[in-house]
Amino acid sequence: MSKNRLPVLVSWVGGNDLKAASGGESGPVLSTLRAGRFSRAELLCSYARDEVNSYKDWLSAETDIPFNIYHEPLSSPVNFAEIHQAAAKRLECLRRDGESLAILLSPGTPAMQAVWILLGKTRFPATFYQSSLEQGVQQVEIPFQIAAEYVPAAATVSSVSMNKMAVLSAPVDAAFDNILTRNKAMLVLKQQAQVLAQKQVPVLIYGETGTGKELFARAIHNAGPRASEPFVAINCGAIPADLIDSTLFGHKKGAFTGAIADRLGVFQQASGGTLFLDEFGELTPDVQVRLLRVLQDGTCIPVGGTKEKPVDVRLITATHRNLMADVSDGRFREDLFYRVAVGVLHLPPLREREGDLMLLADELLNAIGQQDQTLSGKKASPEAKNIMLKHAWPGNVRELHATLLRAALWCHSDSIEADDIVAAMFQMPRREEGPLVHDVSQGIDIQKVMGEFAKPYLQQALSLTGGNKTRAAKLLGLNSQQTLSNWMDKYGIE
């Protein structure tokens, strides 16, 4: 194969690609073909044949790059065995022809993306791409290596149980007992949430992605007087702009193209119960106005309707945004903010929940084993735990769960070792900084700076040794337990 030969782009055709053929955005496949340099594209599609043919005709008119589309009917879009068979067959054909491979990860289900990564990092070395409206088309570095012999271990897990394990969602019957913690701040939050559960006031939950906002919301609902009534959850950031009113307030038949029947909005679906609006801060100002009217009047008018409909919901909202800053900058209505921010809970990220990481890791591994017996009994070794304790976990509990699931699938024995955890982690690029990150010319508190640097290491050493000061001092290179105690007093560590 010539070094200058362009790679073949391989991808599934996803829902956003089909929407593009109906007049939407370009879609990941076309965007990538336009942005990169490829000899041709080999596309797999599990949708109905008539949709495949329509997309093929549309794509032919949009690009000069030759392509083939292969209809791959799947019993389920998350059936790992069928996805693996279809993808491996296509990649094997290309490898026999000596083609250089480029894989587009974005279209399709998470199961399809996982199989692409497994194949592209083991049997069929490939360059990876992803495409999104926010960041455009980018070449992706998958920052871990997978040994080829790891793959068969994952194959013993059924696709049904794999799908269940991959989804970390709040259980329908979530109670405050489901919120595992021994962290003091989290214990206080649980107490506050239990008080709020008995009241009818709106609750606003702040927290990064994966911190358990919906788990708290469901627990508040299940512990309150509306527990026997519906709990309806919706992600405001995932609703298309032209469907937001219909989704929230419902619509009448014929209100717009595609409205073939009357439809209840989430306010009416949750009537008598609790409505949970996740990513609440993503609502646009015009929608904020209409939502405020509903909360003030207790009524809403469906799209295409003329008669007001009464609504009776207990509202719980959640966001990762700083809404007070958005209010100050004019991006969020002040009157709506004060309407929803009566009971306010700030959920800390996992990296600030001292003492909780290993508690949650053990519980998640137990849950993974209960969902599939082939993975039961998996435990993290002390070395693996040390690696986990050093990680910042920007994705919080959701990232921890996904990492442990990958490690459990790929490790050879019941003991998950350090190498297994490293291979399962996504290491985000870090901006390199020099040691002088403070501007001395403006004056600094050197003792405070030293404390900021030393405190995390003291806490980590104490955590690793179970609070044994003698062993912790040895890990830190300190002369004695008394020296460690002095440092703990100096920097306020219990």
Among 126, 118, 166, smallest CA distance to 145 is for 118
CA distance linking residue 348 with residue 44, whole number of Å: 42
> Is the Cβ–Cβ distance between 114 and 14 less than 8 Å?
no
Mean pLDDT in residue range 206-226: 94
> Is the Cβ–Cβ distance between 469 and 461 less than 8 Å?
no
Does 2 have pLDDT greater than 70? no
The type of residue at 234 is I
> Is the Cβ–Cβ distance between 197 and 219 less than 8 Å?
yes
Query: 305: number of CA atoms within 13 Å, CB side?
Result: 20
Does 237 have pLDDT greater than 90? no
Reduced to 3 states (helix: H, G, I; strand: E, B; else coil), residue 351 is: helix
Does 264 have pLDDT greater than 50? yes
> Is the Cβ–Cβ distance between 345 and 205 less than 8 Å?
yes
pLDDT tens for each residue of 390-434:
888 989 999 999 999 999 988 888 899 988 898 888 765 544 444
> Is the Cβ–Cβ distance between 12 and 44 less than 8 Å?
yes
Task: For residue 103, list its beta bridge partners.
Answer: 10, 128
- Better pLDDT: 169 or 82: 82
- Better pLDDT: 442 or 94: 94
Helix (H), strand (E) at residue 110: helix 110-120
pLDDT tens for each residue of 25-42:
788 999 999 999 999 999
- Better pLDDT: 172 or 381: 381
Q: What are phi and psi of 200, to 5 degrees?
A: -105, 10
> Is the Cβ–Cβ distance between 40 and 66 less than 8 Å?
yes
Give the chain's length: 494
Helix axes 110-120, 159-166, angle to 10 degrees: 110
Does 192 have pLDDT greater than 70? yes
pLDDT tens for each residue of 86-112:
998 999 999 888 899 999 999 988 889
Reduced to 3 states (helix: H, G, I; strand: E, B; else coil), residue 366 is: helix
CA-CA distances (angstroms) from residue 55 to 7, 11, 45, 109, 137? Answer: 23, 14, 10, 18, 21
Reduced to 3 states (helix: H, G, I; strand: E, B; else coil), residue 405 is: helix
CA distance linking residue 147 with residue 145, whole number of Å: 7
CATH of the domain spanning 184-347: 3.40.50.300
> Is the Cβ–Cβ distance between 312 and 150 less than 8 Å?
no
| Domain 8-142 -> CATH class | alpha beta
pLDDT attached to residue 116: 92
CA distance linking residue 411 with residue 384, whole number of Å: 12
Q: Which two tokens stand for residue 308?
A: 């007001």
Lowest model confidence (mean pLDDT) among 120-124, 221-225, 266-270: 120-124
> What mean pLDDT value characterizes the chain?
85
pLDDT attached to residue 59: 93
CA distance linking residue 230 with residue 226, whole number of Å: 8
Mind giving me the DSSP string for 219-287? HHHHTSTTTTS-EEEEEGGGS-GGGHHHHHHEE-TTSSTT--S-EE-HHHHTTTSEEEEETGGG--HHH
Q: What burial letters (b/e) apply to 343-352, b meaning 16+ CB within 10 Å?
A: bebebbbbee
Q: What are phi and psi of 78, to 5 degrees?
A: -120, 20
> Is the Cβ–Cβ distance between 395 and 209 less than 8 Å?
yes
> Is the Cβ–Cβ distance between 339 and 333 less than 8 Å?
no
CA distance linking residue 190 with residue 374, whole number of Å: 34
Q: Locate all alpha helices (DSSP H) within 332-445, ordered by sequence.
A: 334-340, 357-371, 382-390, 396-410, 418-424
CA distance linking residue 397 with residue 392, whole number of Å: 11
> Is the Cβ–Cβ distance between 42 and 90 less than 8 Å?
yes
Mind giving me the DSSP string for 8-75? EEEEE--HHHHHHHTTSS--HHHHHHHHS--SEEEEEE-S-HHHHHHHHHHHHHH--S-EEEEE---S
Task: For residue 416, list its beta bridge partners.
Answer: 380
Does 365 have pLDDT greater than 90? yes
Q: Which two tokens stand for residue 364?
A: 């998640």
